[in-house]
Structure 1
């Protein structure tokens, strides 16, 4: 005869772990692309700063130029925040750092602190190192890549000009600033047209994941969503 079964309250508790995948829902809030705003802000703010370096604007206009750049700082900071919300860490990082560079320029130029030009020179060389790292990871996002590549020589020329005070380097930085404005303006206009019409109008040269993000279907977009920041438990 088999022994009596143990009373129910003495049985070890069984762990019940349901399949959480079927119980999980992820809600996405679509937003408009903030990149055209960020690129237009960069293009517009680059014009007066480049004119100051080229001598088109007199040296006495430095404070006025710094104040005119304040909107670019605010707009690019906003773009960086929105890009984080869109889960685009590359665009968010780039726009936030651009905003920080404008803020440093505004504070140093408007206050005219001693050795401000040399400090900005060192800062621009630091931005050059940052840009080289960003350029290494952004080739698929060709619009961002083009703006970064155009900014690299400008950061180098501005940094060396601040350290040496050489006029030809200051003028070179001004010319490169106008080039950045043209490229950023084109990228902003092309991206805005693409969002308005739902397809690429002007060439942007996307490749890899960046191309798939625009041309792929919703299934491709949601692939590995559970592993993205904001969804997974830890960064």
Structure 2
């Protein structure tokens, strides 16, 4: 005969009792190096090539050469996005993946030079500028990303205008803004590399909020809201 404890509280119908799992919780680490310096260096190098092309630094007929030169940026930034997703940094992963798609589309259009490619690139750059605005609005506490996004917004907005109008002065402005974006991305990448090598912030990048705590906070700070993180909660 099965006996029941009359003092045990009754459970609501349809609700299954789950034991306290805190004593069985384990934290497994899969450390990876930060992929962001590579991502920002790639943005910088590709932006320099395209910026110099728009400024007329290269000889006539360099369109296809520029397209082939920036094609590796697609592969590198896609790789950065993959590792950023693995590090559970959705902002960085999304930004790098979209940059990868942008470089691939730009490269293919420059190489093939099909009819209407400039106007198509104009629309693409305009949409990317809008995407960068939306990303910047939620990335203010991750200053490294935010700085790059703030430089990317005017650069791709003006690039879109140049692709749609083909006005020479707009192309020159787009090239200058491309070099400015490259400078910001280079500084950010170098600052992150120095920080990783020395274990402390050397060049300021203005972290605040959770991004600052992730670097400067102790273990108790890192474990806040752990139960709400992906891989712990039931659904994304």
| TM-score, normalised via structure 1 length | 0.92
Equivalent-residue separation in structure 2 for 1:200 and 1:8 (angstroms): 65
Give the equivalent residue in structure 1 for 2:127.
126
Q: Residues 153-172 of structure 1 correspond to what in structure 2 (within 5 A)?
A: 153-172=154-173
Moved over 4 A (4+): none
| Deviations 1:144-163, CA, capped at 9 Å, x for gaps | 11110111111111101111
1:72 is displaced (CA, Å) by: 1.2
Larger radius of gyration: 1
- 1:98 aligns to what? 99
Aligned residue in 2 for 1:3:
none
Distance 1:63 1:123 in 2: 19
Deviation at 1:16, TM superposition (A): 5.7
Q: Is the 8 A contact 1:38 1:95 kept in 2?
A: yes
Structure 2 unmatched ranges of 5 or more:
6-10
* Deviation per residue, 1:18-56 (Å, 9 max, x gap): 222322323121111111010011111111111110111
d(CA) in 2 for partners of 1:71 and 1:190? 23
CA contact (8 A) 1:121 1:159 kept: yes
Deviations 1:68-115 (A, max 9, x none): 112211111111111111111111111111111101101111111110
* Partner Cα separation in structure 2 for residue 40 and residue 10 of structure 1: 67
1:177 aligned residue: 178
Aligned residues: 227
* CA–CA distance in structure 2, aligned partners of residues 16 and 203 of structure 1: 50
1: distance between equivalents of 2:4 and 2:162?
Answer: 81
CA RMSD of aligned residues (A): 1.8
- Structure 1 residue runs without a partner (length 5+): 1-6
